Structure 1
Amino acid sequence: MNNTHLAEITYQLRLRVARPLRLRVGRLGEVELPAGDYLYTGSAKRNMDARIARHLRRVKPLRWHIDYLTVHPDVTVVDVKRSVLPECALNQIVAGEVVVPGFGSSDCRHGCGSHLKRIAIDK
């Protein structure tokens, strides 16, 4: 089977940052994140279950920007949702604040600015 034309499966991780953080995130360098809730939008061309399981592990090689958050003890993944929408379309419907420009969007061609947004906490 030819896997070159597999459709992307998209997902969103809802993250809770328990306290303000300052950390180094790969080539983005040092970033600051206020405490609060965030949505990270990502995609995978195959094996979505393995990708999500990886995001939930605390110990792993730091490969993607999101890894630098998910290994941190003050960051918790509180929800995971899958979607059939394209990654950037899903990201762009999220009303939120871009705190770290370029986060998770190194290959973005749709002007998202960031695939990590700080969101209002539901009360």
Structure 2
Amino acid sequence: MNEAATTTYQLLIRVAEPVRVRVGRLGQFDFPAGRYIYTGSAQRNPEARIARHLAASKRLHWHIDYLLDAPGVAVTGTLRFGEPECVVNQMTAGRILVPRFGSSDCRAGCSSHLKWLDGEAGLVSRP
């Protein structure tokens, strides 16, 4: 598919209390309480992908699944974009706490697709 057909989404996430999570093969990490934003994409049926992320019961597959499965972690909103995943991610403010989270296959130089907003606006600035 071409880049114009790429469907990108962002999950706005709240971590109520600090939590330690084993993120698959990536390892174990401490996530401070606060707001996070995760950028992902789905080439086909992005609404099904978002619904899967929001499901209470699922097989843990993607990095984000492990975080969302932790106690006190909830998705508080979603955003959708027509731009490619890495373009949206690179335009999004925030601090990287876990390198390679959601970006282990990234070829655009993203060090992580999960950012801790920690008081920053965090939302993509649209032209």
TM-score normalised to the size of structure 2?
Answer: 0.88
Following TM superposition, where does structure 1 have runs of at least 4 consecutive aligned residues deviating by more than 2 angstroms? none
Q: 1: CA distance between counterparts of 2:82 and 2:45?
A: 15
TM alignment of 1:1-123, pairs within 5 A: 5=1, 7-119=5-117, 120=119
Unaligned runs of 5+ residues in structure 2 are 122-127
Percentage identity across aligned positions? 58
Q: 2: CA distance between counterparts of 1:39 and 1:59?
A: 21
Unaligned runs of 5+ residues in structure 1 are none
Alignment length (residue pairs):
118
TM-score normalised to the size of structure 1?
Answer: 0.91
Q: 1: CA distance between counterparts of 2:69 and 2:90?
A: 26
Offset at 1:73?
Answer: 2.5
Q: 1: CA distance between counterparts of 2:120 and 2:108?
A: 27
In the TM superposition, what whole-angstrom CA distance separates every residue of 1:62-98 from its partner, at most 9, and x where no partner exists?
A: 0100000112231010010100111001001111000
